[in-house]
Chains A and B, each alone.
Chain A
Amino acid sequence: KNEVEQSPQNLTAQEGEFITINCSYSVGISALHWLQQHPGGGIVSLFMLSSGKKKHGRLIATINIQEKHSSLHITASHPRDSAVYICAVPPFGNEKLTFGTGTRLTIIP
């Protein structure tokens, strides 16, 4: 059974701080997704990656396939980054995404 664990579950930081959110999974995968869910409920896809690192603005996602681990970093955090960040993976040969429970990030001005 594929399990996806995220840490921390909750994170509160001051504006400007460097943020790291971690995701670990238990089975081989073809890609990993990072998603952002705002308080209203809508979800936005941030990254899909299968190796190395991807960067988009102040967000950076890394993945280590051998260690079955990924991290999402936010540089120069801002209150508008406050959201739930969700990691999701499709096991090899499976159409379905398995989701983590999410990390609730709050950035204080």
Chain B
Amino acid sequence: ETGVTQTPRHLVMGMTNKKSLKCEQHLGHNAMYWYKQSAKKPLELMFVYSLEERVENNSVPSRFSPECPNSSHLFLHLHTLQPEDSALYLCASSPRTSGGRNIQYFGAGTRLSVL
């Protein structure tokens, strides 16, 4: 148990659906991250939030829309996804965002299948 909880663990959606992924941490961390892990590819950073402000958007298509209402919660809103968006989506948190010298605590991930 890393202290970072993601829901749901599995999600199947059609290309016209709208769904949301949720991430929650009660570690007192100020930074939260969304990553995408596709089959046989390295983890790719999607978004970084620091103190509820988005500080990184790694050229992610607009069909992915993050939301950070407070420092403990992070959402990823999904709409009109494509089959190639099927992947494992991982949330992480860290005390701060400073230069990769913080250990990141990962959730168990949401495995998304887009039909």
Write the residues of chain A forming the contact surface with B, with a CB cutoff of 8 angstroms. 4, 29-31, 33, 35, 40-45, 48, 50, 86, 88-90, 92-102
Say yes or no: A41 contacts B40, CB within 8 Å: no
State A45–B43 Cα separation when bound (angstroms): 14
Decide if B100 touches A99 in the complex (CB within 8 Å): no
B99 A94 Cβ-Cβ under 8 A: yes
Q: Across the interface, which residues of B come within 8 angstroms of A44, CB to CB? A: 2, 106
Task: Name 19 interchain pairs, CB-CB below 8 A, sorted by A.
Answer: A31-B100, A33-B100, A33-B104, A42-B106, A42-B109, A44-B106, A45-B106, A48-B101, A88-B43, A90-B100, A92-B99, A94-B99, A94-B100, A95-B98, A95-B99, A96-B56, A96-B58, A97-B43, A101-B40
Interface residues of B (CB under 8 A from A): 2, 37, 40-45, 48, 55-56, 58, 88, 90, 92, 97-101, 103-109, 111
A4 cross-chain contacts in B, Cβ below 8 A: 42
Most buried by B among A29, A41, A48, A90: A41
Cβ contacts under 8 Å, A88 to chain B:
43, 100
**Contact partners of B44 in chain A: CB under 8 A:** 99
CA distance A44 to B90 in the complex (A): 12
Query: Residue of B at shortest CB range from A98?
Result: B42
